[in-house]
Amino acid sequence: MIFTHDTEHALAVVVDLINTGAATSGAEELGGLAGLRAFVDRNSFSDVDELTEADLVRVLDLRARFHEVFRADGVPAAVRLINEIVGEVRTTPHLTDHDGYDWHVHFFAPGAPLGEHLAADCGMALAYVVAAGELDRLRTCEAPDCSRVLVDLSRNRCRRYCDSRTCGNRMHVAAYRARQREAAH
């Protein structure tokens, strides 16, 4: 494991959030509250009750800012973006073992709205990535027509494609065909 389990979980949430706006079909997954609810449910957040349009607006704004971190041109730019995100939100660090997870630290204040929850916990996860000197693990998929992001948690930093099945498979096929062409010469 490269980071602690709660950091890796928060990073997976960031990736999922950014990719809701980067579907290869061009569809916007967070076009309404139903999409936001689906995002919340599949990431098993604790303490999220009713969702409102205000939550949606805030989450979309945060999504754009997280995406900027992935595209930041170097560590200082990423630091500035992350400090803005975590600096604006009220944080209340506390240890918890909810839902059968091992002890881990939450940074959002109990009862915080979804946007604050994400800004605090995902923002801190990104801060740990920078502090560990691992910013280059935050990547954009290298498939030509894909803008999805990924966190490369492989030991040898070899991951280049997002986890959408199309990208992985497509690139394997392309590599296979290239090898066949080589062999034919």
**Beta-ladder partners of 139:** 150
Answer for which of 143, 145, 163, 175 binds Zn ion (CB under 5 A) is 143
Binding mask 98-137 for Zn ion (x = CB under 5 A): ----------------------------------------
Instruction: Read off the tokens for 96.
Output: 């918890």
Token pair, residue 178, equals 């290239």
Binding segment (CB under 5 A) for Zn ion, from list 14-22, 25-33, 71-79, 167-175: 167-175
Among 118, 119, 127, 162, binds Zn ion (CB under 5 A): 162
**Which of 129, 126, 94 has the alpha carbon at shortest distance from 17?**
126
Give the nearest distance from C-beta 185 to Zn ion in angstroms. 30
By beta-carbon proximity to Zn ion, the closer residue of 15 and 162 is 162
Range in contact with Zn ion (rule: CB under 5 A) among 72-80, 129-137, 159-167, 170-178: 159-167
Instruction: Provide the minimum distance between the beta carbon of 106 and Zn ion in the complex, in angstroms, as a whole number.
Output: 5
19-28: long-range pairs with CB below 8 Å, 24+: 19/148, 19/149, 19/162, 20/63, 21/60, 21/63, 21/67, 22/146, 22/147, 22/148, 22/149, 23/148, 24/145, 24/146, 24/148, 24/164, 24/166
The residue within the footprint of Zn ion, chosen from 72, 129, 146, 151 (CB under 5 A), is 146
